[in-house]
Amino acid sequence: MFVVADLKNLRRKAVPLYVELAAILRSRILDGSFKSGERLPTLNDLTLEMGVSRVTVRQAMDILESEGLIERGSGRGTFVNDRPVAPHEVFRMSAKLDTLTALVRGGEAEIISTNLEDSPSVPKFDGVDPVQLKERFTFFRRIHSKGKMPFSLVDVFVRNDVYSLAPDDFRHRIAVEVLAELSIEMSSADQTLAIASADVQDARLLKVDVNSPIADVNRTFRDTSGDVFYAARIKYPSSFISFHIHFEQ
C-alpha cells in the first residue's frame, strides 16, 4: 500500500488527472510494488489515498484494463494480471571513480529521514540481503542540491563500521565525497542506471513534473573481501544527467 498526497497540485496542466493516476499505478505494477495476481486497493481506498474522485479512479482503471495490466471482476475486486517479461539489455561502460566524485562535488546534502520505513520501497542491491540493510547499515533518505536546486533524491546505506569512522561527515555531506577521503580499499564500485518516471513523491522532492523522465540508479561499493560497505539508490532528474558515447569503428 502506498499513499500519494497532493496529486492535484502536482499534475501537469496539459495532462488529465486520470492519466496521471493511471501512470502512477502503472509504475507500481511494472516495478513490482503490486505483484502479479495481487488484489489492488478498493475504489474507495484509492479515492481516499489519492484525494481524487471515484470517477477519476474509474477512468484510470479503464486505461490499465485496456492495457491488459489489470482484470476487474464484479464482486471480486481488481487484480494485477500476469504479464510477459519485457526484453532487457544491459549496456556496459567503464569510468573512473573520480568522475563520480567530481559530479557531486560542491553539492549540499539535506536529510529527509533516517527511518527506513519512510522510504517508499526498500531498494534491492545485488548480493545484499534486505535484512542486512536494516541490521548492519545506517540509513539516510536525502536530497542533494546545488545552488538550491535539487539534483538527486538518494536512499543511502553505509555499513555501520564505516559510518562510525566519520559520522558527522556522513550526516552532513554527500557520502561519495566522504568515502573518497576515507580511502577505503575497494574490490569494486558499480552502478546500474535505468530510465524511469517520477512518481508523486519524486516529483515533489526533485521539483519536476509527475511522470517526467528520471535516471534511477543502484550503486554499490565493495571492500577487498567483496562485502558491500556502501549502497545507494539515486534518482536524478533528466535535466541533470546525460551521456555522450563515442563508438569506435
* Owner of C-alpha cell 508523486: 200
What residue ranges of the chain have pLDDT lower than 50?
1-6, 10
Looking at residue 15, what is its pLDDT?
Answer: 67
DSSP string computed for 163-184 = HTTSHHHHHHS-HHHHHHHHT-
Cα(170)–Cα(229) distance, integer angstroms: 13
Report yes or no: 179 and 154 within 8 Å, Cβ to Cβ: no
Structural domains in the chain, CATH included, are: 7-80 (1.10.10.10), 97-237 (3.40.1410.10)
Task: For the full predicted model, state whether its pTM sits above 0.85.
Answer: no
Q: Give me the amino acid identity at 191.
A: Q
Looking at residue 21, what is its pLDDT?
Answer: 86
Cα(123)–Cα(212) distance, integer angstroms: 21
DSSP letter at 90 equals: -
Q: For the chain, where are the alpha helices, taking DSSP H only?
A: 7-10, 17-30, 43-50, 54-66, 97-104, 130-136, 160-163, 167-172, 175-182, 200-206
Looking at residue 121, what is its pLDDT?
Answer: 63
Q: Give me the amino acid identity at 3.
A: V
Looking at residue 5, what is its pLDDT?
Answer: 46
Residue 169 sits at the vertex; the CA angle it makes with 217 and 154, to the nearest 5 degrees, is: 20
